[in-house]
Chain A
Amino acid sequence: MPDLLLEFFSEEIPARMQPRAADDLRKLVTDRLVEAGLVYEGAKAFATPRRLALAVHGIPARQPDLKEEKKGPRVGAPQAAIDGFLKSAGLASLDQAKVEKDPKKGEFYVAVVEKKGRPAIDVIGEIVPEVVRAFPWPKSMRWGAASAQPGALTWVRPLHSIVAIFGPETEDPDVVIFSVGGIASGSITHGHRFMAPAAIEVRRQADYMEKLEKAKVIVDPARRQDIILAEAKNLAFAQGFELVEDAGLLAEAAGLVEWPVVLMGTFDRAFLAIPDEVIRTTIRNNQKCFVLRDPQTAKLVNKFILIANIEAADGGKAIVAGNERVIRARLSDATFFYESDLKTLLEDRLPKFEGIVFHEKLGTQWQRIERIERLAAALAPLVKADIGKARRAARLCKADLLSDVVGEFPELQGLMGKYYAEAQGEDEAVAHAIEDHYSPKGPDDLVPADPVSIAVALADKIDTLVGFWAIDEKPTGSKDPYALRRAALGVIRLVLSNGVRMGLLDVFSRATEGYLEQDNAHVVAALGKNQTPGSEFDAIRRSFAALTGAGLREFFADRLKVQLREQGARHDLVDAVFSLEGQDDLFLIVRRVEALGRFLDTDDGRNLLAGAKRAANILRIEEKKDGHAFAGAPDGALLKDPEEKALAGAIEAARDDAAAAVGREDFAAAMAAMAKLRPAVDAFFDKVTVNADDKVLRENRLKLLNEIRQATRAVADFSKIEG
């Protein structure tokens, strides 16, 4: 079957857009082919800085013929109806229609309309221009004389030519004829901009890739990446160094060249005095070059790897020399920034924060720092951190935002703070907390484990969460401009991996106190007019709870579910635990969820769950029937059957044992206590008729069922558990 080859040859496509564009091209064209009945065998798209290409294999030469049956009027219908039918079906006379029978309708005419499939090449000639016109570039532009007219073609950068070839492997393929934005399709492309700019006629994919490779263009970005990586590693290895790998940089570098040539350059050793990360970021961000390290010490060496786009006549000497000069200038800028940063103590930067607004309603950065400091001090005892160090770290943790290096490279925030703190002789725990207080930044980021870091990292996130909740700026749908979901997940991971014991509502209220102490008008107003700074903690606690409802706690529950689901846990178990009264200790909640999960994996667990659900179902129905709940303890004197007496006893024992176990935070034991309930529940349902004729007896038994439900709530709300 024939193959299709498309190439869009343009001016330089931004590296970051290339992978997505290749995907979009493949999907848009192949979707349209399938829609048109042209089911293909395979498709692969490629991108280079100057071209976007697509090869589709095994496309049928024609669309399949389609037969369509059209029901007409009944035999003997008025002439007008018959004429209308003939016209719409394109028939000359009734002889061309069949007659079919239907028990209801009787005999009626049916026209069989055959839709002949068209040659695939014609269909493709219609599809491609439409795809080009609607191509979803993140940003596209007009150009040239044609841009004077409305409706001019847009593309990511000026589009110069289009190759569109269709045909079987063994024959001469045909050009798919079309024209879009004044560009006529053809079979001509061009090689490398500098090394082989001549026109090339191409015939099919294999031929295309091969001819372009001869013309110094490697069409497949994955191959360009492989070449860069392999050669970079070789060059490094040959000198006894190791490449600092960087997948993002590799993809970008491969998107900036059609013919990768890997070269090594050197910079002055003196620059190694500034932190490795500053060197790496400077060289990576500004020059798109890789850095190398000494495999023994893991420290950077004074070398870098650059990826050029040409095989230069002098073997790359001028290119290396040029890049070395640029990198020297960049590193001397960075050194200047770093050294001048070191001249200012971190605390001396703080007054400037008074003039920087963090959020219009939440005050300045300075106010934020004060609150974080206050909250970190309050959290310190919970995580066994030194209060003084937690305060100090919190006070200094944002200071590096005003340093020159972080101004130049925002991604170095925190890290530079640590270096500057060390340089001014801060305690090691303080310096580390400054770096780590942003962590964990994402689901894969390491979680700080040092107590001072934990205290400041928690305080930073909780202050933000509580503030935005108080002013009702919550994430909605995909909008989360202040990254509150990430902050909540960060709190969860900090708590769980360090076993931090804290009540969420208590901590939220401590954070709220910080805002009230600053007399933040928005938070004060939100908490209610009777609420004034300095009021009782319990009152704040109550008003915060009233303000956000269970909102922020539920937000955490949702984040926790996401987190546990990713670890393979059941999200319904989180609900089953969270919906119990007063559950706001994340660490205990998770331990309970884990114990519950293990319990439900046992026979005892599954059966008890079934029994509890059965009890709940019966209760629901009967409560509805009677219009009231069956609350209160059953009357012992009315217990008649041995199974119900046994159940009553078992419930009492299980409840007491489970409560005691929960009190010891021994959830496994609590589950074990519940497990003892199971035989009694099973026997009860086996032998005892709940809906006895005797009304008093029935009521008493329903109360007993209610006791099962109540008893299981010692460990979880079984009604929230699925299955």
Chain B
Amino acid sequence: MTDSGTPPHMRPDRSFQALILTLQRFWADYGCVILQPYDMEVGAGTFHPATTLRALGPKPWNAAYVQPSRRPKDGRYGENPNRLQHYYQYQVILKPSPPDIQDLYLKSLAAIGIDAGLHDIRFVEDDWESPTLGAWGLGWECWCDGMEVSQFTYFQQVAGFECAPVSGELTYGLERLAMYVQGVDRVYDLNFNGREGAQKVTYGDVFLQAEQEYSRHNFEHADTAMLFEQFKMAEAACRKYLDVGWQKNETGSEKKERHLMALPAYDQCIKASHVFNLLDARGVISVTERQSYILRVRELAKACGAAWLATEAGGAG
């Protein structure tokens, strides 16, 4: 996208939003469904039902989207040049993983101006595991000149179920990638809109205050009594929706064939997961309790996965 016809503010090496738009266009061209971010707080793009749930079952699925991701513990009050409690991931899921997926990824880097003849691009072992989602996969972290710019994973298992077929997941750390192509050392200095002078909006203009406020919230003031309560409520609601979602068949038997509310149930699982992350950041969960909370979320994720597999999109009948 560095051809001369592109105005400067639309160049991915000048503007954070142009980088995102370039990736959107690239993956749209490939044939992905371009989704918008999921409208709930999540820790990573993987939590979006378009990845977690769609990775399960036999149906083909190609999608891409930006996902704002919240990691309450990673907040640094806006003082660290590259650590954020809220950042953007660009997420691509291709199911089944196409044979040329590595080449596609490299082409997407070329599209945002990373020339493989000039830069040292490497696939370095990094296996992925999400204990809360009961998911794991094998893959790499992708390095560009020693900087990790993406995660590349072949999902083997999600929500405790084998992926058949396997999906390929690409996760671009957008801020890092933008810092790299813009040549900026501090995330807040990123040019957000690609304009110069008075019209220029930086990442700091958009997010610095939020980082400071949320760091205070996450580490000092988040209402833990409420959060503990919310965790319990989300867990209970998830279980409730899962229970009532199983369709009774005509004979009235309890045989679980069809589920009618997998998505709303999964929302509550996401909610529980985020609430847990907040509690963890507040330091009110001990080491042993931590394990049991992770296990509780995983149990919800597994039950949601089982429900999803009994829906139409999950491939049931």
A contact residues vs B (CB 8 Å cutoff): 11-12, 14-16, 49, 139-150, 156-158, 160, 194, 256-257, 287-289, 306, 308-310, 312-314, 318-319, 321-323, 325-329, 332, 355-357
Which of B82, B117, B286 touches A310 (beta carbons < 8 Å)?
Answer: B117
CB distance from B83 to the nearest CB of A (A): 9
Flag whether B122 is at the interface (Cβ < 8 A): yes
Residue of B nearest to A356 (CB): B287
Bound: A270/B58 CA distance, A: 56
Q: Are B96 and A147 in contact (CB under 8 A)?
A: yes
Instruction: Write out the residue numbers on chain B whose beta carbons fall within 8 Å of the beta carbon of A312.
Output: 117-120
Inter-subunit contact A141/B117 (CB<8 Å): no
Tell me if B145 is interfacial: C-beta within 8 Å of chain A.
Answer: yes
Are the C-beta atoms of A322 and B119 separated by less than 8 Å? yes
Residue of B nearest to A156 (CB): B138
Interface string of B138-157 (1 = CB under 8 A from A): 11100011110000001010
> What residues of chain B have their CB less than 8 Å away from a CB belonging to chain A?
58, 81-82, 96-99, 102, 116-125, 127, 137-140, 144-147, 154, 156, 163-166, 168, 180, 185, 286-288
Decide: B145 and A323 in contact? CB cutoff 8 A.
yes
Residues of A within 8 A of B146 (CB): 287, 289, 306, 322-323, 326-327
> Inside 8 A of A140's CB, which chain B residues have their CB?
138
Q: How far is the CB of A144 from chain B (nearest CB, A)?
A: 5
Nearest chain B residue, comparing its CB with the CB of A150: B164
Residues from chain A with a CB closer than 8 A to the CB of B98 are: 144
Q: Which residues of B contact A11 (CB under 8 A)?
A: 102, 123
Known contacts A194-B117, A256-B122, A309-B120: does B145 contact A322 (CB below 8 Å)?
yes
The 7 closest A-B pairs by CB, nearest first: A322-B145, A14-B125, A12-B123, A148-B165, A323-B146, A147-B166, A308-B120
Contacts A325-B147, A355-B286; A144 near B120 (Cβ below 8 A): no
Contacting residues, chain A, for B137 (C-beta < 8 A):
141
In-complex Cβ contact of A314 among B81, B82, B96, B118 (8 A): B118
Q: Give me 14 A-to-B residue pairs in the complex whose CB atoms sit less than 8 angstroms apart, sorted by A's number.
A: A15-B124, A141-B137, A143-B97, A144-B96, A146-B165, A148-B165, A158-B97, A309-B120, A310-B117, A322-B180, A325-B147, A325-B180, A326-B147, A332-B81
Chain A residues, Cβ within 8 Å of B121: 194
Chain B residue nearest to A15 in the complex (CB)? B125
- In the complex, what distance in Å separates the CA atom of A288 from the CA atom of B125? 13
Name the contact of A329 in the complex, choosing from B81, B97, B117, B118 (C-beta under 8 A).
B81
- Minimum distance in angstroms from B67 CB to a CB of chain A: 24
Chain B residues with CB under 8 A of A256: 122, 124
Give bound CA distance, A355 to B119, whole Å: 47
Q: Quick one: closest A residue to B119, CB to CB?
A: A318
Closest A residue, CB atoms, query B179: A325
In the assembled complex, the Cα of A720 lies from the Cα of B227 at a distance in Å of 69
In the complex, the answer to whether A16 meets B125 with C-beta atoms within 8 Å is yes
Most central of B118, B144, B145, B146 by chain A CB within 10 Å:
B146
Instruction: Please determine whether B81 and A145 come into contact, CB atoms closer than 8 angstroms.
Output: no
Complex contacts, B96 vs chain A, CB 8 Å: 143-145, 147-148
Least CB distance from B309 to A in Å reads: 14
In the complex with contacts A144-B98, A147-B166, A355-B286, A157-B138 CB distance below 8 A: yes
Q: Is the CB of B140 within 8 A of A12?
A: yes
A676 to B144, CA, bound (A): 79
* Cβ-defined contact, A144 with B145, below 8 A: no
Name the residue in B116, B137, B164, B165 with the highest tally of chain A Cβ atoms < 10 Å from its Cβ. B165
Chain A residue at minimal CB-CB distance from B98: A144
User: Residues of A contacting B288 with CB < 8 Å?
Assistant: 357
Q: Which residues of B contact A150 (CB under 8 A)?
A: 164
Q: Is the CB of B99 within 8 A of A158?
A: yes
Complex CA distance for A108 and B155, rounded to whole angstroms: 66
**A540 → B minimal CB distance (Å):** 32
Closest Cβ of chain A to B278, distance in Å, is: 21
Q: Known A12-B123, A329-B81; judge A144-B144 contact (CB<8 A).
A: no
Taking CB atoms, residues of chain B closer than 8 Å to A148 are 58, 96, 164-165
Q: CB distance B138 to A144 under 8 Å?
A: no
- CB atoms of B117 and A313 under 8 A apart: yes
Distance in Å: Cβ of B138 to nearest Cβ of chain A: 4
Beyond A143-B166, A329-B185, A332-B81, 10 extra complex contacts between A and B, CB < 8 Å: A11-B102, A12-B122, A16-B125, A141-B154, A143-B168, A147-B166, A157-B154, A318-B145, A319-B118, A322-B146
On whether the beta carbons of B156 and A142 are closer than 8 Å, the reply is yes
A residues near B127, Cβ cutoff 8 Å: 139
Given A144-B98, A147-B96, A326-B146, verify A318-B154 contact (CB < 8 Å). no
Of all chain B residues, the one with the shortest Cβ separation from A261 is B120
Contact across chains for A141 and B116 when beta carbons are under 8 A apart: no
Shortest beta-carbon distance, A273 to chain B, in Å?
19
Please report the C-alpha to C-alpha distance between residue A306 and residue B144 in the assembled complex, in whole angstroms: 13
Given contacts A310-B120, A312-B117, A319-B120, contact A147 B185 (CB under 8 A): no
Q: Which residues of A contact B81 (CB under 8 A)?
A: 329, 332
A137 vs chain B, min Cβ distance (A): 10
Chain A positions within 8 Å of B99 at CB level: 144, 158, 160
Contacts of B165 in A (CB 8 A): 142, 144-148
Complex contacts, A319 vs chain B, CB 8 Å: 118-120, 145
Q: In whole angstroms, how far apart are the Cα atoms of A322 and B120 in the complex?
A: 9
Closest residue to B60 on the A side, CB-wise? A145
Question: In the complex, what distance in Å separates the CA atom of A636 from the CA atom of B81?
Answer: 95
